[in-house]
Structure 1
Amino acid sequence: MDAVVPTGWEIVSGTIPTQITLVGTETPDIIIKIKHNIISTATTKTVKRIITITNPDQTIKIIEQAVKYQRTAITDEATDITTYTEWQVDGDTGDFAAIDLTNYQGADYTKAGYTMMIDGQAGTTIAKTTPNAEAEDSNITVTFTPVRHTMHINYVNSQGDVIKSQEVTGDTGETKVVELSAPAEWLIVDDTKPRTIVFGADGAQDIKINIEYARVYVEPTDPKSVTDPLPDNPTKFYPAGVGYDDLNKAVTRTITIVDPKEFMAGPF
């Protein structure tokens, strides 16, 4: 005979006979008890926190944290309906542990001369969080902002006094070429070429430039008045004492010629 258990069902008791012998009305019924066939399957899921560290030299380090979950899928093959148990943490912890990036697994991820930025905020610690099984993977971005430094070019006279201080700012890793600018009425004694300043992790050292009073030579052929501006400081004017009469002087030598005749005719 061709009797079979319906799809999605299973026999609880009894067996399907391979043949039945009919004995008229006295042939007994055959009862086979069946039930829905239930299939249980373990399913897993992993939720990650991905930390991407982009260093100042653009090299990248990835740190991943993961929490694993497990639940059971229960499928009724008779109705084709699947239900699930609650997700349960599959492991020792259900947290993303806090991370101190100054000492994580023996490594210091901070960089001298740079401020660590975690998702745009200055800091070095990533907080502990507790995800849930329905959460998507999360991402944290770690970048670095160069520290702004300040140094000075000091213009110093022969007594060691700073007459002028020229402030220069720059970020870690930045190189600047700075033109020297002596104070008014002073001259640079040292080399006057521009200075190249490299800002390292600790900034840059101050630079000393030796200076002396500026001198202006006024030639007698080009005298000046108190209304003429100084060549290196047009807001000031030449002092008195450099005019034409101050720089030029006529010296007269008188030669007297005596006529001998007049000399001999004179009284004796």
Structure 2
Amino acid sequence: MVKNGQQDVMVNITYTANDQATHIVYTDQDGHQVKTDMITGKTAQTVDVHSDVPTGWKIVDGQVPATVHFTGDQTPDMTITVDHRHHIIDGQGELPTGLAPSAFTKTVTRTINVRQPDGTVKTTKQTATFNRIADVDEVTQQVTFSDWQLTSNGWVAFTTPAIDHYTPSQAMVEAVDDAASLTRDVTVDIAYTANRGTVEIKYVDKDGNEIGYQMITSHVGDTVKVTPQFPTNWVPMDPATVPTAVRIKEENGQIIIVVIRHAVNDPAQTKTVTRTIRVTTPDGQTTTTSQVAKISRYGDLDLVTGQIAWNPWTTARWDAFKPATIVGYTPSQAELPVVTVDGETADQTVAITYAAVAMPTPTQPANDVPAADHAVDQGAADNGDYQPAGQGTATNAAHQAATATTHHLTATTSAPVAVAAKQTPAAQSAAPAATNRQRLPQTGNGHDASTLAGLASLLGLFGLAGKRRKRD
């Protein structure tokens, strides 16, 4: 309150500037706040701005002012749009953690192996070099690589060397300069295959005329076993000229000449030639003996013409044959000789029969018995055969009777008789005694050996009686 008498008072009033503040706000393109810096000052004061863009970011829209002037009114915040800062690296210099220089370059190799016909391998290597760069996000530290860039000519075209008589599995390997195709190492293997070749075997006759041929086909360089294919019914003139194997040396043009001739076979013929011997004995029985000789001959059959050139027949033989001896009979053939049988000999049939031996017929005495006795006795005296009684008289009488019987019998017609086996000379000497025991052929006379023996004995007795009368 002012009082009376109070002197004037001077009051000085002063103003103090208020504190002022504003913000610089950094946001990304999506509006997300990245960083905020506050700027302070006084009203009417101009303040230098000290605000840095966030690390790893860069301003996209707007800029950070150098100063801010505070007017006293509220100073609005300043928004600055920022984005990630990136930088490019090429593998040189300092690299982000985890990255090596090899991440920025690479070499892709194409290996071409050419296997030669002799088995050796020739190798050619082709390389293609690539580089790339990387983008590093300074906020996230994420590294993004660019595409690979070819820095050389890539893989150039490759032509496989030519080798006579051989064909490569791949004549050319194409060039590759497309980075997209050069992503990995590649190996190409090339091999040679021998070309197909032929060998012709010509089969000709001795005059050079071609009769047939045979083609052998395989790869050049191969050795092929040959199975000869001779024309039908032909054979080689010289088997040594027939190849057992051929080597294919070239594609075409190889010819081998083999001289051939007509094939011949060795036909054979056999035949039997028989001598049939039929022996009919006096009793009417017939015995057949077959002598078989087997002969053969061989020939050369020309299998082309069909003609056969025959060699001579071999020879064999029929052995000698003697029919059995039958006492009192004579065979029509005493012996069949040995015969050599050849191709001209024909079958033969021989018939052998027996004929009775001629026997003398007894004659009647001209005088009576005493005269006969006298004749006998006289004959004995004339022959010096007289012996006193009791000294061989019976033997002489029997001998004389047998002799008389032999001289006075004649042959008769044949009739069945018993057959004796073939006789040895010793057996034949004893035959007369056996004959006396055999029945003579039936002639109607009714004589037999026993009758003749009795007659001889009777005559002997008469002779002995006469001799006794003379001695008396």
Q: Scaled by the length of structure 2, what TM-score is found?
A: 0.36
- Choose 1 or 2 for highest CA Rg: 2
The alpha carbon displacement at 1:156 in A equals 1.0
2:177 match: 130
Q: Given the alignment, which residue of 26, 31, 52 partners 2:113? A: 52
Q: Given the alignment, which residue of 202, 210, 213 partners 2:259? A: 210
Instruction: Confirm or deny: 8 A CA contact 1:148 1:170 kept in the other structure.
Output: yes
Query: Which amino acid in 2 is paired with 1:222?
Result: R
Indicate the structure with greater strand content: 1
Task: Point out where structure 2 has 5 or more consecutive residues left out of the alignment.
Answer: 1-47, 57-84, 92-103, 270-295, 314-341, 347-472
Q: Which moved more, 1:198-207 or 1:156-165?
A: 198-207
Q: Given the alignment, which residue of 147, 160, 169 partners 1:117? A: 169
Q: 1:232 to 1:81 in 2, by over 3 A?
A: farther
Alignment of 1:21-100 (within 5 A): 35-36=55-56, 38=87, 40-42=89-91, 43-91=104-152, 93=153, 95-100=154-159
Task: Point out where structure 1 has 5 or more consecutive residues left out of the alignment.
Answer: 1-27, 102-108, 119-123, 225-229, 252-268
Instruction: Confirm or deny: 8 A CA contact 2:237 2:261 kept in the other structure.
Output: yes
Q: 1:223 to 1:97 in 2, by over 3 A?
A: closer
Instruction: Confirm or deny: 8 A CA contact 2:202 2:210 kept in the other structure.
Output: yes
Q: Counterparts of 2:201 and 2:106 in 1: how far apart (Å)? A: 62
Deviation digits for residues 241-260 of structure 1 (CA, Å, limit 9, x no counterpart): 96x99x94459xxxxxxxxx
Q: Counterparts of 1:86 and 1:187 in 2: how far apart (Å)? A: 78
The alpha carbon displacement at 1:180 in A equals 3.2
Q: Given the alignment, which residue of 144, 162, 175 partners 2:192? A: 144
Q: Counterparts of 1:71 and 1:110 in 2: how far apart (Å)? A: 40
Instruction: Confirm or deny: 8 A CA contact 2:204 2:257 kept in the other structure.
Output: yes
Q: Counterparts of 2:201 and 2:179 in 1: how far apart (Å)? A: 58
Deviation digits for residues 132-186 of structure 1 (CA, Å, limit 9, x no counterpart): 1562223333122222212121111122111111221222221123243432333
Deviation digits for residues 184-225 of structure 1 (CA, Å, limit 9, x no counterpart): 33331123464331123556722111122334566672378x
What is the percentage of aligned positions where both structures have the same residue? 23
2:179 counterpart SS class: coil
1:4 match: none
Q: Counterparts of 1:59 and 1:202 in 2: how far apart (Å)? A: 23
Indicate the structure with greater helix content: 2
Aligned residues: 202
Q: Counterparts of 2:344 and 2:163 in 1: how far apart (Å)? A: 73
Instruction: Confirm or deny: 8 A CA contact 2:198 2:250 kept in the other structure.
Output: no
